[in-house]
Chains A and B, each alone.
Chain A
Amino acid sequence: MRTFLIALALLVVLALVPADLTGLGLPYPGLKRYGTYILTLWLVTAIAAMGVNLIVGYAGQETLAQAAFVGIGAYLTAIAGKHGVPFGISFAASGLLTFVIGIALGFPALRVQKHYLAFVTLAFSVLCWLVFRNETAITGGVMGLRDIERPILFGLKLRNAQTFYWFVLAITAVMTFVLWWIVQSPWGRAFTALRENPLRAESLGVDVRLYTLLAFALGCAYGGMAGSLYAPLVEFIDPSPFALGPSLLFMLMVVIGGSGTFAGPFVGAGVAVLLPEWLRAWETWYLLIYAALVMIMMALFPGGIVGLARVSVRKRQP
């Protein structure tokens, strides 16, 4: 119950962040369009990162293709939208398609040793990028797809930056709840058992490979659905955000946030999306500073930011 209340309060705060509250007599002018955009981007990134967290933090696998799955969802939604398919259907289809691809990739790869899923996803990631770039007739190639429409919900246009933010926030909330429910379910607990002691989990009758496969596919589906939101958010897509480099960054943000913790992906996505904004004043040096912070962070607190926060909380209340 307490968790539920905290989540609700957080949701209300997040919903109010971009809004102009001066009308209510509060000295808070809200965010500019850009601020709202960045906040929306943070949520979309966090959805994809939640998927990575499920794969990395709970199932103990690695994925180097999350950006490619985001790309599949984004292209599917953009292309379907141009043919008049309603957003709801593209969104569901993005999730379903990436789930199926996840099963198809994971099933053979998980038969072999650890880390091999990572290698297969690495190849898949580059192959996807090549298809996005080369199949110009479908994807627009390097020139990308322009003028992607934002969805219309029950006749309500979501063109406005703030309305679209609330729409994405609502979806994020639902998807977060679903994931929370999964993690809390006996199914999710099996994962925790798995992570803590694989041999014991197996002896308790947990079908390790099946669970891992489903977790991987579900993680991919979160990527696909995030992509489905990314396309109308940016209103333009081209292959570059779906390359291998961005896939590595998804792994980076989950580990930095704290893999295997529920809040980790949100913190990690926040660091990845917002920190460059703070460091922007340093022009090109921001990448250096960012990377140096990541390395220091890893060297001192490999458990990530959430892990660090937990340690300091525990220290304070002995």
Chain B
Amino acid sequence: MTVLALRNVSKSFGPIEVLHGVDLALEPGEVHALIGENGAGKSTIMKILGGFLDPTTGDLLLDGQPRQFTSGPQAEAAGVVVIHQEFNLAPDLSVAANVFLGREAGGFRLDHRAMREGTADLLGQLHSPIDPDTLIRDLSVPDRQMVEIAKALSRKARVLIMDEPSAVLTHREVGALYEQIDRLRGQGVAILYCSHRLDEVAHLADRITVLRDGRVVRQALRGELDENGMATAMVGRELQDFYPPKGHPSDALALQVTGLTVPGEVHGVDLSLRQGEVLGIAGLVGSGRTELAEGLVGLRPASAEIRVNGQPVHIRELRDAFAAGLAYLTEDRKEAGLLLEKDLRVNLTLATLERFGGFRIDTSAEDAALDRAVADFDIRAPRRDMQTGKLSGGNQQKLLLAKTMLPDPRIIIIDEPTRGIDVGTKRQIYAFIRKLADEGRSLVVISSEMTEVIGLSDRILVMRGGRIAGEISGPDMTEENIVRLAMGVSSEAA
């Protein structure tokens, strides 16, 4: 019955063994969730299943027969399709061209119409309004994810391996995704689903495999493991107090912003921030949250009246924001936050090089700073001179946080603090954020994860259509209230 399975698979990179005797079986018509902290070995397993890596020992079984894929396309031909977290889409081609890439319809002459209609049909099944003729580069990140899913659907997969497919999707899109997963399950497709969102795992998975340090530590059927149980199994200890206790902001205003306008994106937003406060900003993707933050720190053309500690400041570019004690941690870690091909030291000091010598860079001072950052933010890197891109997402995020904190800012805006990060690291980052607030710094946390905003913030602003739709605090901070404000359903909580 089993379509694709791993039998006693181990995998070593050089002398280091990262997988130890893993057994995993994917059954048709079943959603199999694979969970574990970053570095637990999930990606290695997905790569072996998808034909991108060979096991060092043990077997990959397809329909019960040992099989070796020499490449991804070969696995795809056998019906094993992987949806990667990093999109494999050609940005300059249209949606339809991407969906049919490598299996274009028509003979020598392309049948554009068939491909367009086929794509529209697939996207329709996903309730996505994307036009098949749009270029990928013009699509938002969630839309690209939908295209990636449509592309996988078009492959008529027997086994579908999905790596964090919902990480960048909005609520509604996630709903459509679940619907498709149900449909595929009904058609007898075997699905391997990797996710950090334990609520979604509990909702979707028929079977759960928990990985820790390259071993399978728990396998369970639907209903046998609740979210708390999953987290405990992943981390190996009880996870209590996931979010740190709330703080005690002072009454002194650290930041006052009046009439912040980013042309076309944000319309006259006022906000204030107290010392020692964590202010959450919630809202749907596209509601202007990131644009608000980037306008405030000078990364986008914007106009506003800004006071820091009561003193008016003018911020025209990011340097001005740094000088005023503001810092911004981007949501786009890989494309705007870190130089993935450079080592840790270069990344840490990039925004603050003038603190490390004049024209000449004082490398030993940089190394000392890296030592401190590694200790303060618990950055786990096998080697200092490794490429930052080879760190796990969680360690990248910690490094980015260390980089942001290097100039010792008093006001820190953090956009999506834990996107694509494992549970253990999430908790660490929450603790860092609270610690910074307790030191008297002020923080703005922008997040799409509602539990996160609620768990972290002393107060929440909800954005809709480039404006503040409402403010909630204390016991009013509930998912229901946020959704209402974000969707514009009702103003009762405002």
Do A and B actually bind? no
Contacts from A to B (Cβ < 8 Å):
none
